[in-house]
Amino acid sequence: MSADTSDPVSSIPNLGPASEAAFARAGIHSAAELREIGADEGYRRLLLSGSAPHFIGYYVLVMGLQGRPWNDCKGPEKAALRKRFDAIKSSMIGTKEKGRSDLEAALQFFGVVERR
């Protein structure tokens, strides 16, 4: 499936205007760009940009990039995606917390700066 580089993120099945805005905040501005980097990297960038992790959002993205309806994810496939999601989420620990840099997060941990 070839897409024009100007196709919006919302042209991917299951993704709408809210997803498009979230990916734009993450620096991803087209469907082609998201397809090129794939679901895992795209989701990682969403988390880096401050989006909260949600398993449903992750597998909706995976299904959409495969051209499948979001509710097509079931059984062993869903369990495998849950493991991938958990690995992505775990890899993000310490990278950015609620809009704070690594340094700010560390200073917050030690009580040097106020908690948000």
Q: What is the pLDDT of residues 51-98, one digit of tens each?
A: 889 999 999 999 999 999 999 999 999 999 999 999 999 888 766 545
pLDDT digits (tens, 9 = 90+) for 31-49: 999 999 999 999 999 999 8
Give the integer Cα–Cα distance in Å for 36 and 25.
18
Per-residue confidence (pLDDT) for residue 40, from 0 to 100: 97
Domains of the chain, earliest start first: 9-109 (1.10.150.20)
Q: Say what the pTM is.
A: 0.76
Break the chain down into helix, strand, coil percent, rounded to 5: 60, 0, 40
Give me the residues paired with residue 100 across strands.
Answer: 97
Which residue did the predictor score with more confidence, 9 or 96? 9
Residue 113 pLDDT exceeds 90: no
**Matching residue, tokens 């993205």:** 61
Cβ atoms of residues 64 and 13 within 8 Å: yes
Per-residue confidence (pLDDT) for residue 50, from 0 to 100: 86
